[in-house]
Chain A
Amino acid sequence: MNSAHASAPHTGHYYVPQPSLYPFFLSGGMFLLALGFILQMNKFAPGPWVMAAGAGVIGFVLYRWFGAVIAENQRGDYTGWEDQSFRQGMVWFIGSEVMFFAAFFAALFYCRHISVPALAGMDPAFTLYKDFTVAWPSAGPKGASFTPMGAWGIPAINTALLLSSGVTLTWAHWGLMKGRRAQLNLGLILTVLLGVVFLGFQAYEYHHAYTELGLTMGAGVYGATFFMLTGFHGFHVALGTIMLAVVAGRCLAGHFDAKRHFAFEAVAWYWHFVDVVWLLLFVVVYWL
């Protein structure tokens, strides 16, 4: 990448966008969302309204901001040089997401291998929890008792769904590279559908967990890590599905060609990242 630049020096046409109000309003929206959430959690009446205002501002600004970027791109403002910056940005952004999930995986390993055994292994003369023994899944000495989620029902189906969505997405990419637009569009639409079905199953699974298994956020460290890991993953699937839908819409509108399709690739990277997180989840949360 670098050497290519050295051989063909740039001539000062890096696209610096015009002054823009989007960042300022996006920050304002985030402030309102956070403030509203704090008020809501502490039972102050205006909470939900402030949150809704914040979410509305965020949604509107993102819609306009991404719209502006797409328009600039279609206008041909970006060359390969800007493209490299976007790629760098996306790669490092996904890197930060990896570390966010790492924190929750770390909590899972810590509780399973350190804190639960330590609580069970304490000197009976010094512990409040004399009868507590090591087990996994565990609700700890005093968490709500529950039945763990089996791996080979819905979770296995969801694994199959996400893996197939990875395949359909790659198939769509081939279509784009070879100029077969129908394959591209069909592949993307299938991927979006698989994402939606995945989310549907997950919603059903949560309902099952709460109403029939007694597996709740309060079910000790198992419940906590289960819901935080699968919940944040599900949130990322939802985001990814929205982004895929936008890209699908752009493909239908005739955007992208075999050479220039950064947005497509960025979303694909994101989707594969979400896939890999799921595989880890399936193994360490549901299965082992």
Chain B
Amino acid sequence: MNTATHTLDGHGGHAHQPGGLLRWLTTTNHKDIGTMYLSFSLLMFFVGGAMILAVRAELFQPGLQLMKPEFFNQLIGVHALVMIFAALMPAATGFANWMIPLMIGAPDMALPRLNNWGFWLLPPAAILLTLPFVLALFGIGDGAVATGWTLYAPLSVQGGIGVDFAIFAIHILGISSIMGSINIIATILNMRAPGMTLMKMPLFCWGWLVTAVLLIVTLPVLAGGVTMLLTDRHFGTHFFDAAGGGDPILFQHLFWFFGHPEVYILLLPVWGLMPHVLSTFSRKPVYGHTGQVWSFVAIGVLGLVVWGHHFMTAGLPVPALLYFMYSTMSISLPLAVLFFCWIATMWRGAMSFETPMLFAVGFIVLFGIAGLTGLVLADVAADAQYHHSYFVVAHFHYALFAGGIMGVMTGVYYWLPKWTGHMYSERLGKLHFWLTVISFNLTFMPQFFLGLAGMPRRIPDYALQFAEFNAISTVGSFVLGLSQLLFAYNIWRCIKGGEKASNGVWEGTHGLEWELSSPPPHHSWETQPVIKD
């Protein structure tokens, strides 16, 4: 009975939809907004990527070749902020916008205008982040934020105008994410089709529900922290200044109370999506739906209480160190449950390896390396050596590129035919996958060894013995960056046309989202389906 009957809806029907640019400025449609989020994310992925390729070019050889150290520092800081806040998070929100209403049988998101506002806050924030680069060309200010994305005091208290730009960019991004989260929670709690209990709800929606709660709990704390930074800089307060009784470590607490949950915020939507893909291409139901739901919740809760592992060398008292070590390590238990469920979903399935499945399997392997190296870093004694070295950089790129970005690519290939109504080119997709996986490892695997050998992160010059591995890493990074053009081209081609996609798109799909046409009608589920059984 799950058919989308078109009843006449007096409000917001096609008739009122303006065309051209105005359509995008004004839209209240969850699919349009999802498309904007995803396009913006792709654009910023290339912006952030270009920045870091300049960095890798500088690191190709020891010595300073291309840029001043100050500019190098600006590039790495803005790279991270752009990738996290303007590429990865908007991609996940784009998925949420597109897929949650389709999956739960809703006509749209719960708060459509707020939804549009959430998106339109992003471009101003991205401009604020990058504008200081441009202003510096005209002799105004000394460039963008040069403290690294973590904005540690006292460096950030002393920094130039770029820090102020970053603070306000973070405020606006924060408001955007909070509005997006409120909307997603309201949609999930209030708009599910009759009969779809929370426990029957698809895992992607569950991943996002936990993500949204984490965002609402942690982002305001970051906002508070950067506000204190602003008043320390311009209004004479002493939050992070020992002379007035404050403490720079306080900033690290506030930052990482947000920063650690943030890594789960970036990944929970992807963990939610993985079982869908694995089950489709293994032609088997998801293994351990309930177990995965509780793992998400457990990771969310534990993720809120382990932030200290990011500054274990800053002089925390020993009991605090032990606490942060054991609590951090305990997160690997629910994470291991997820890995187990992913593998069990594939176990003895009739697997086929279309591009999304390749990315999913690649994700499992490489993200596993992220988790295992994380355990190494969580060890207080070992971290004393590895902290602030390239080992950490490698660790979190296995988590955020191989976990986050490749997870997003999994989703894009999986859902693109649903969104556009056309199949992408499988040949190009596979080529993109193999180039990405190989060059990713070429880029980041050497960084583990550089870190173990003692190369510090965030440094434009280095000792001679690190030269070979840095050269390899730079070559890898350029291949990695260029391969992503294939990704963009493949998406472009798929939007323009191609083989028609069926409603189900893939052979093994089930779920409400696959019952609508590809692409789905303007108002997704105008009549809510009823879930039986």
Which residues from chain A sit less than 8 Å from chain B, CB to CB? 1-2, 5-7, 9-24, 26-28, 30-31, 34-35, 37-38, 41-42, 44, 65, 77, 81, 84-86, 88-89, 92-93, 95-104, 106-107, 110-111, 114-116, 118-119, 129, 138-143, 216-225, 227-228
Instruction: Tell me whether A224 and B124 are in contact (CB under 8 A).
Output: no
Q: Which chain B residues (224-260) contact chain A, with CB distance < 8 Å?
A: 224-225, 227-228, 231, 233-239, 241-247, 249-250, 253-254
Q: A23, A86, A118: which has the most chain B beta carbons within 10 Å?
A: A23
Chain B residues engaging chain A, CB cutoff 8 angstroms: 7, 9, 11-12, 16-18, 22-23, 25-29, 106-108, 110-114, 116-117, 119-121, 123-124, 127-128, 140-141, 161, 164-165, 168, 171-172, 175, 178, 181-183, 185-187, 189-192, 194-195, 197, 216-221, 223-225, 227-228, 231, 233-239, 241-247, 249-250, 253-254, 523, 525-528, 530
Are A104 and B216 touching (Cβ within 8 A)? no
Contact indicator A27/B120 (Cβ below 8 Å):
yes
Taking CB atoms, residues of chain A closer than 8 Å to B113 are: 17, 20, 22-23, 65
Instruction: Knowing A15-B11, A92-B186, A99-B217, say if A217 contacts B237 (CB, 8 Å).
Output: yes
A residues near B172, Cβ cutoff 8 Å: 27, 30-31, 34
**Complex contact B183–A89 (CB within 8 A):** yes
In Å, the complex CA distance between A49 and B244 comes to 34
* Candidates A9, A35, A218; contact of B530 at CB < 8 Å: A9
Of the candidates B121, B128, B526, the one whose C-beta lies within 8 Å of that of A12 is B526
Q: How many A-B residue pairs have CB under 8 A?
A: 260
Tell me whether B247 and A12 are in contact (CB under 8 A).
Answer: no
User: Can you spell out 11 A-B residue pairs with CB atoms less than 8 angstroms apart?
Assistant: A16-B28, A19-B18, A38-B168, A41-B164, A99-B220, A102-B220, A103-B228, A107-B224, A143-B245, A220-B238, A224-B237
Report the separation of the CA atoms of residues A142 and B530 in the bound assembly, to the nearest whole angstrom: 68
Q: List 6 A-B pairs, minimum CB-CB distance, nearest first.
A: A140-B245, A103-B224, A23-B117, A19-B26, A31-B124, A224-B237
Taken together as a complex, chains A and B put the C-alpha atoms of A267 and B74 apart, in Å, by 43
Among candidates A22, A42, A81, A143, residue contacting B141 with C-beta atoms closer than 8 Å? A42
Q: How far is the CA of A142 from the CA of B283 in the complex (A)?
A: 68
Q: Which of B121, B236, B244 has the most CB of A within 10 A?
A: B244
* Closest residue on chain B to residue A100 by CB atoms: B220
Q: Is A140 a contact partner of B242 (Cβ separation < 8 A)?
A: yes
In the assembled complex, the Cα of A34 lies from the Cα of B170 at a distance in Å of 11
Q: A11-B527, A18-B28, A142-B244 are in contact. Are A23 and B185 (CB under 8 A)?
A: no
Q: Which A-chain residue is minimally distant from B233 (CB atoms)? A: A41
**Known contacts A92-B185, A217-B237: A228-B228 contact under CB 8 Å:** yes
Shortest distance in angstroms between A148's beta carbon and chain B's nearest beta carbon? 14
Chain A residue contacts of B26, Cβ below 8 A: 19-21, 24
Excluding A6-B195, A141-B244, 6 further A-B contacts by CB distance (< 8 Å) are A6-B194, A14-B106, A27-B120, A42-B164, A141-B242, A142-B243
Q: Which one of B187, B239, B241, B526 has the greatest number of beta carbons of chain A within 10 Å?
A: B239
- The CA-CA distance from A26 to B168 in the complex, in Å, is 16
Chain A residues whose CB sits within 8 angstroms of the CB of B228 once the complex forms: 103-104, 107, 224, 228
With A and B bound together, what is the CA distance between A118 and B16 in angstroms? 64
Assembly CA distance A81 to B112 (angstroms)? 14
